Amino acid sequence: MLYISMSVIANYQPIWKISHYAAYATMIFFTAFFLRERLADSKELRLLSDLTYSVYLFHNWAWEYIAIPFKAMGLVGIREQLAITATLLAFCYVMHITIEKYGIKLGKPVSKILGRSKSKATVEIPQPVS
């Protein structure tokens, strides 16, 4: 099953054949899954958890734009990758604090209002009398 999913990913994203992102992600997932009893809940872990959605949204397109100044500075290899990763995480943190948190706060009352209006709008269909 794992081989099939890796094969599908490699067909969907051919560049991943040489980068092994899917294999790394799978290893990280299973490591965290099997060590979940030992991972104590903390502010740091909760922050990483909160950042996952922002990273998911921005990593694909923002990576290349963030790389431009680091390439201009002459950074290459692992130093460039670490600088881009740190900048991406900082950018995602700012997006999480400024947009995502407020969006969630705004969404809760809107969801409740829409949920109430939907339940009030439910109309009972009379059953035919036989």
Q: Which domain holds residue 20?
A: 8-39
Domain count of the fold of the chain: 2
- One-letter-per-residue 3-state SS of the chain: CHHHHHHHHHHHCCCHHHHCHHHHHHHHHHHHHHCCCCCCCCHHHHHHHHHHHHHHHHHHHHHHHHHHHHHHCCCCHHHHHHHHHHHHHHHHHHHHHHHHHHHHHHHHHHHHHHHHHHHHCCCCCCCCCC
pLDDT for res 115: 77
Confidence band for 45, pLDDT divided at 50, 70 and 90: confident
Q: Are 98 and 44 members of one domain?
A: yes
pLDDT tens sequence across 16-31: 666 666 778 888 889 9
Confidence band for 11, pLDDT divided at 50, 70 and 90: confident
Q: Are 34 and 63 members of one domain?
A: no
Q: Are 78 and 33 members of one domain?
A: no
pTM value? 0.62
Q: Are 35 and 45 members of one domain?
A: no
